[in-house]
Chains A and B, each alone.
Chain A
Amino acid sequence: MSRAKRSIETRDVTLVEAVNMALHRAMADDANVVVLGEDIATNGGVFRATVGLKEAFGFKRVMDTPLAENLIAGTAIGMATQGLRPVAEFQFMGFIYAGMEQIVSHAARMRNRTRGRLHCPLVFRAPFGGGIHAPEHHSESTEALFAHIPGLRVVIPSSPQRAYGLLLAAIRNPDPVIFLEPKRIYRAVTQSVEDNGEALPLDTCFTLREGDDVTLITWGACVQETLQAADKLAEQGVSCEVIDVATVSPLDRETLLCSVAKTGRAVIVHEACRNGGVGAEVAASIAEGAFLDLQAPVVRVTGYDTIMPYYRNEQYYLPQVEDIVKAVEQVIAL
């Protein structure tokens, strides 16, 4: 099987370029890593996340599949039981549901139901979330559906560096990982990323900014607005701790609870709708583990409990900087 030597370079890259960099690195390091999906080989993926892989590693390891998401999920599972490490792309999260039965009933359960005889070291990648004026079914954030399923890890990067390090960790992880890429910030920022093959830890929150007055808990594209809100609030003298949850399941409750114990206040920000969202699990964990430290109720800033509006109105659905500032002002006043 083809393997390519890869030198260590440092480049300024976008989030989607960091995904591509990690895929190149993982495939060069391990001949068992294969990539499959719709339009991913010759076309390099509709977002170009897989560009250059076919040229570097050949069509045997970089496979354009027929247009069938259920098949993509199930095929990856079969490959994984043979010890390959498939990274399968769902073109948009809105199309992942056809693969749901395979993900829930097989990928998540294979190790448990065979008592470790077989397992699924695979990654299901999907761009998700709104904000790019995409057609219907292309903008939802349904990470909570997967966070609810035992046996899955749900990982969401929010910067080029974390995209690189977390995707490498997901590919090397011996269990299935749902890797959701916030496409709104695919090209929003560039960051210097060293292609050194170093993974970042899974199951761990990243504290992006330390603060004393309130803990802002978020993930994915909303990290951008949350950091901007923290800047504005700093001007008003409010010191925000900002935590990127990154692995939304299993949840790193310890980091969250320690932070809330220090600040006494928590505001949760996510793009997904509120009802049954991951924010509800975070809020419940804080209520169970840090109730006596709280000086104010936990507040959520989220999408609404409705169908994601078409793009003319999507900005009214997505949490905005002012919404976050307002929520913090509300809990600080208490």
Chain B
Amino acid sequence: MRQIHEFHVDSTRYLDDHGKPPGELPPQAGNTIRVLAAYRNMVLTRTFDSKAIALQRTGKCGTYPSVLGHEVVGTAIGQGMAKSDVFVPYYRDQAAHLLRGVSLTELLLYWGGDERGSAWQNCPEDLPISVPIATQCCHAVGVAAAMKIRDENRAVVCCIGDGGTSKGDFLESINLAGAWHLPVVFVVINNQWAISTPRSLQSGAETIAQKAISAGLPGHIVDGNDYFATVEALDTALDRAHGGKGATVIEAVTYRLGDHTTADDATRYRTAEDLKRAWEKDGIKRLQNWLHDNGHWSPDKEKSLQAECKQTVERAVEKYLAMEAEPPTAMLDYLFETLPAALQPQREQIASKYRGGDL
């Protein structure tokens, strides 16, 4: 017997749990403006997140999935992508959306039961949030194939959770990305939980990244709470995609610090000790410590950033709460480009039932 192939999965981490770098940092750490912008986006995302949960608790927003623990990887995605690239998200990518240009008001509208929450004004080609698990992976390869057919130098970033990698959609899509050499980066955000199902029950594979190997793609693990490791992995994978070298799978390891959604109660299936240990690895605190240790941050700067983020979120909430619902006839107005004659009577029925508005 002889070995015909050897495969490997690498893992990267630059900062320890306290934000200290045991070794040399990647060049990305030298770009202080970019690092500070990343930190700001993480804090804004977390501020928004706690507000959205509060709105749900007080009946002003629908079921909402907390982004707690995903801020670092989302920020790295948002920073790494070119404006002309296309983002194909799942439903816990708020940090990336903000950098892509989705407004806080639009995010609130979406989770507040209003379709206009996906009519993104500033990133018109990004795909909307995908609720059916892993289905977005197939769209990502379709978008990437369109770019390749048209010889465009653009790339796609597709997000998925650890649970989603158990679905065929993910496996079929990485398989196509390998077969067609598509410019796409799959970011698996392994937060250890698919609602109550732990990572260990999703797969017998030691790592999720190794699934990439079956598709002929490189699979790389990063500490998803280490901004420098994550941003380096994203930059490298996007360079590969833009350079015509094909797709990459990144497994960003983190921990879902919140409930699955506001409708979930994670105390039913995980211990307080586990959660406490995960908080000790929090990526935002880690980056804050690093900024502080390197003379880029101070308690005053932190205080004023917190205040600014709070104000930004409050303004978005006011705008969201002030928006009237769409007229009910809107439920038919966007079904097709032109409403078929067969559906006209139903539109009239809705209009007469809710007469009074401008229908």
From B70-78, B92-100, B121-129, B273-281, the one touching the partner chain is B121-129
Closest chain B CB from A98 CB (angstroms): 8
A77 within 8 A of partner (CB): yes
Question: Which of B119, B145, B330, B343 gathers most chain A CB within 10 Å?
Answer: B145
Whether A254 lies near B341 (C-beta < 8 A) is yes
B147 within 8 A of partner (CB): yes
B334 within 8 A of partner (CB): yes
Whether B172 lies near A71 (C-beta < 8 A) is yes
Within 8 A of A (CB), among B340-359: 340-343
Whether B146 lies near A111 (C-beta < 8 A) is no
The one of A74, A77, A117 in contact with B124, judged by C-beta atoms closer than 8 angstroms, is A117
What separation, in Å, do the CA atoms of A77 and B147 have in the docked complex? 14
Whether B138 lies near A203 (C-beta < 8 A) is no
Whether A106 lies near B337 (C-beta < 8 A) is no
Question: Which of B120, B143, B146, B169 gathers most chain A CB within 10 Å?
Answer: B146
What separation, in Å, do the CA atoms of A119 and B349 have in the docked complex? 26
A294 within 8 A of partner (CB): no
Whether B340 lies near A203 (C-beta < 8 A) is yes
What separation, in Å, do the CA atoms of A117 and B115 have in the docked complex? 11
Once A and B bind, how many residue pairs between them come within 8 Å at the CB atom? 141
What separation, in Å, do the CA atoms of A86 and B140 have in the docked complex? 15
Closest chain A CB from B24 CB (angstroms): 39
From A62-70, A133-141, A160-168, A229-237, the one touching the partner chain is A62-70
* Chain B interface, >50% SS class: helix
Whether A112 lies near B343 (C-beta < 8 A) is no
Residues of A within 8 A of B176 (CB): 65-66, 68, 71, 75
Interface size on A, residues (CB 8 A): 47
B137 within 8 A of partner (CB): yes
Within 8 A of B (CB), among A140-186: 150-151, 174-175
What separation, in Å, do the CA atoms of A50 and B147 have in the docked complex? 23
Whether B139 lies near A151 (C-beta < 8 A) is no
What separation, in Å, do the CA atoms of A105 and B125 have in the docked complex? 19
Closest chain A CB from B314 CB (angstroms): 26
The one of A68, A75, A116 in contact with B142, judged by C-beta atoms closer than 8 angstroms, is A75
Within 8 A of A (CB), among B257-316: none
Interface size on B, residues (CB 8 A): 45
- Chain A residue with the shortest CB-CB distance to B116: A115
- Chain B residue with the shortest CB-CB distance to A69: B172
Whether A111 lies near B336 (C-beta < 8 A) is yes
Whether A115 lies near B149 (C-beta < 8 A) is no
Whether A75 lies near B335 (C-beta < 8 A) is no
A299 within 8 A of partner (CB): no
Within 8 A of B (CB), among A75-120: 75-84, 86, 101-102, 105-106, 110-119
Residues of A within 8 A of B47 (CB): none
Whether B342 lies near A203 (C-beta < 8 A) is yes
Whether A105 lies near B132 (C-beta < 8 A) is yes
Whether A76 lies near B142 (C-beta < 8 A) is yes
From A40-48, A245-253, A319-327, the one touching the partner chain is A245-253
Residues in A lying within 8 Å of B, measured CB to CB: 1, 34, 60-61, 63, 65-66, 68, 70-71, 73-84, 86, 101-102, 105-106, 110-119, 150-151, 174-175, 203, 250-254
